[in-house]
Amino acid sequence: MEWDEKLQRIISCIESSLDYGERAIDEKEIEEIAGCSYAFFQKVFSYINGISLSEYIRLRKLTFAGYDLKGSCIRIAEVSNRYGYESPTSFTKAFRRFHGVSPREARKHETRLQIYPQMEKIRKQQYSWNIQTKEEIWPAGVSDNKNEWQHSVMIVLSQQLESDFKGGISLGEVRPSIRHELRNVSEYKLSGHTWAIIECRGEVPHAIQNGWKYLKGEWLPRHSFQYGECPAVEWYGEGNPKDKDYVSQIWIPIII
């Protein structure tokens, strides 16, 4: 078995443990997969990935804690215990250092939380997310020669969402129930929707593609939000799309 394959199997074991919260990392299982001692694997992991295994696990736990706090009514003390902190005080300090806000503030929909994504050799980017309700936005676009709204059309905003919201957006796949409303229009009003906004940093198109992969593979399965009757939106900021710090966003309509 190649090292990359071993690493991904071990990461999957770690992720399974985190899904159960209280379950400890199975060091024996990791040793069997890696074919070496747990201590030696930790050294190799750190050397290859530029981050220690313990730090990776810590950041993933804080990411999962953010999911739990914003997506449920679980008490802060329970979240603290679930992810192995000795007290809510120590958990709050660690949570604030990572997310920039307290666990109590994290429950607010508009609060942006950080994400340390599951490690994959092909994915080296940053994410953050929050939830916002917008009274209305006005994306403008074009239809194809058959007067059918294209499923993925690069468009520009005819009205800025906010004073600093510039750039272009791309409508995702149009849901059949509203597709007929989108024919033969140059503007479309999206009113009264609540959006889960995933911010991606990295070179396009890889950053936005990996953002969708993360969204479908981890974020959506961990939340019980119902998908809203509205197209999903991709937003691309100003700047060089090939820059490692370039910002793009995925807007998912949700019903809370």
Confidence of residue 20 (pLDDT cuts 50, 70, 90): low
pLDDT over threshold 70, residue 26: yes
| Bridge partners of residue 233, in order along the sequence | 171, 251
Give me the percent of the chain exceeding a pLDDT of 70.
Answer: 74
CA atoms of 242 and 207, how far apart (whole Å): 10
Backbone angles phi, psi at 160, to 5 degrees: -65, 145
Highest mean pLDDT among 112-126, 160-174, 178-192, 232-246: 232-246
Give me the percent of the chain exceeding a pLDDT of 90.
Answer: 24
Q: What is the DSSP string of 113-178?
A: EEE-PPPBTTB--EEEEEEEEEEEEEEE--B-TTS-B-SSEEEEEEE-SSTT--SEEEE-PPPHHH
pLDDT over threshold 60, residue 177: no
Confidence of residue 204 (pLDDT cuts 50, 70, 90): confident
Domains and CATH numbers, the chain: 3-108 (1.10.10.60), 126-255 (3.20.80.10)
Tens digit of each residue's pLDDT (9 = 90 or more) over 118-168: 887 544 567 888 888 887 776 654 433 333 333 333 343 333 333 333 345
CA atoms of 178 and 130, how far apart (whole Å): 26
Instruction: Check residues 174 and 256 and name the one with the higher pLDDT.
Output: 256
CA atoms of 140 and 4, how far apart (whole Å): 44
| Residue 164 confidence (pLDDT) | 37
Q: Are 137 and 157 in contact (CB under 8 A)?
A: yes
55: tokens are 């730090």
Q: Which helix (H) or strand (E) holds 246?
A: none
Tens digit of each residue's pLDDT (9 = 90 or more) over 50-77: 899 999 999 999 999 999 998 788 999 9
Instruction: Check residues 90 and 211 and name the one with the higher pLDDT.
Output: 90
DSSP category for residue 253: E
> pTM value?
0.60
Q: Is the dihedral of CA 85, 89, 95, 97 positive or negative?
A: negative
Average pLDDT over residues 216-242: 78
CA atoms of 238 and 248, how far apart (whole Å): 9
Q: Which helix (H) or strand (E) holds 181?
A: none
Tens digit of each residue's pLDDT (9 = 90 or more) over 79-124: 999 998 999 999 999 999 999 999 999 998 889 999 998 887 544 5
| Residue 191 confidence (pLDDT) | 75
